[in-house]
Amino acid sequence: MSIAVAGTVALDSVKTPYGEAKEILGGSATYFSLAARHFTKVGLIAVVGKDFPARHKKLFTIHGISTEGLITEERGKTFRWTGEYRDNWNEAYTLRTDLNVLSDFNPETPPEYRHFPFLFLANIDPDIQQKVLSQMNHTKAVFCDSMNFWIHNKRESLQKVIEKVHGIFLNESEARDLTEDANLFQCALKIQKMGPKVVCIKKGDHGAILLNGPSVFICPIYPWTQVKDPTGAGDSFAGGFLGYLSQCGKMTDRNLRIATAYGAVMASFTVEDFGPKRLLNLSQREIHERFVKLRQVARF
């Protein structure tokens, strides 16, 4: 089954203890779709400026991602994010954000996508998330992500999105900010009460917690990864998760647990190099091998 993703396509400049990269392909919808396309058909809903390199756009289509919903705004520049990771890999320091074309992005979901059974509202202004959501028909499952900025600055709009989704991904600090609770398990329970049955809290190198109704799953990380750049780990996680879930079609508890493990596997690849590089040359076999090893890590 197919999945549509609404989010950002960006040009990122990133510095980590292992080096730096300038103006490379980034954004929440980019990482998501490049991870999810290993499992299912993906349709992109995003905006870029006239300066967006043609090779980047081509890269999506080469990897089977539909760019019909990728608008090129001729009068503006592409969204840019500049960030740094220091000793704590789990926390990014945003040095600069240039919204550019993102500031008045008016999403137009292509007719083909409107009947897709799965939708991911990646991290972007919750007003945009709501608009995309209203354009979809008969979605079987909608998941969303967000970030501290929207939690603090557009809380009401974000809350309306959260009420309507089946599932949500948040990282540790976002979950704490949203619920004002220190205990992550309690955070997840509180978020369930806001609407979504499925709550997934990503804990960086401590793995992830998944709540599906009363069922609780704690997913380990793939421990053999050498992190070079954690940018996009969370979106790749969501890509592996929802990519696998759309492939299965059914949201059973078993499928949701396996989906979480595929999320962890895809994130483990992304962080091994700068940008989405590692997601581009991945084989099904490599993905499967890490999944099998991760299962072994959790077994007792």
Q: Which residues bind a copy of itself (CB under 8 A)?
A: 87, 182-185, 203, 205-207, 209, 216-221, 223-224, 227, 254, 257-258, 260-261, 295, 297-300
**Mapping DSSP to helix (H, G, I), strand (E, B) and coil, where does residue 97 land?**
strand
Residue number, 95 or 218, with CB nearest to a copy of itself? 218
Residue 25's closest CA among 38, 2, 65?
Answer: 65
Q: Give the CA count within 13 Å in the CB-facing half-sphere of 184.
A: 19
Closest contact distance (angstroms) between CB of 34 and a copy of itself is 24
92-98 β-sheet, strand order: 19-26, 10-16, 80-85, 92-98
What one-character DSSP code corresponds to residue 25? E
Rounded to an integer, what distance in angstroms lies between the CA atom of residue 64 and that of residue 192? Answer: 34
Residue number, 58 or 93, with CB nearest to a copy of itself? 93
Residue number, 168 or 221, with CB nearest to a copy of itself? 221
Closest contact distance (angstroms) between CB of 21 and a copy of itself is 21
Residue 80's closest CA among 35, 121, 22?
Answer: 22
Residue number, 161 or 201, with CB nearest to a copy of itself? 201
Residue number, 23 or 84, with CB nearest to a copy of itself? 84
Residue number, 26 or 243, with CB nearest to a copy of itself? 243
**Mapping DSSP to helix (H, G, I), strand (E, B) and coil, where does residue 123 land?**
coil
The letter for the amino acid at 195 is G
Q: H helices of the chain, where?
A: 28-36, 54-62, 126-135, 148-153, 155-164, 172-179, 184-194, 233-248, 253-270, 277-280, 284-298
Closest contact distance (angstroms) between CB of 207 and a copy of itself is 7
Closest contact distance (angstroms) between CB of 294 and a copy of itself is 9
Q: SS3 breakdown of the chain: % helix, strand, coil, rounded to 5?
A: 40, 25, 30
Closest contact distance (angstroms) between CB of 67 and a copy of itself is 33
Residue number, 52 or 291, with CB nearest to a copy of itself? 291
Closest contact distance (angstroms) between CB of 169 and a copy of itself is 17
Closest contact distance (angstroms) between CB of 205 and a copy of itself is 7
Residue number, 23 or 181, with CB nearest to a copy of itself? 181
Rounded to an integer, what distance in angstroms lies between the CA atom of residue 256 and that of residue 88? Answer: 29
Residue 98 pairs with which residues in a beta bridge? 80
Closest contact distance (angstroms) between CB of 217 and a copy of itself is 6
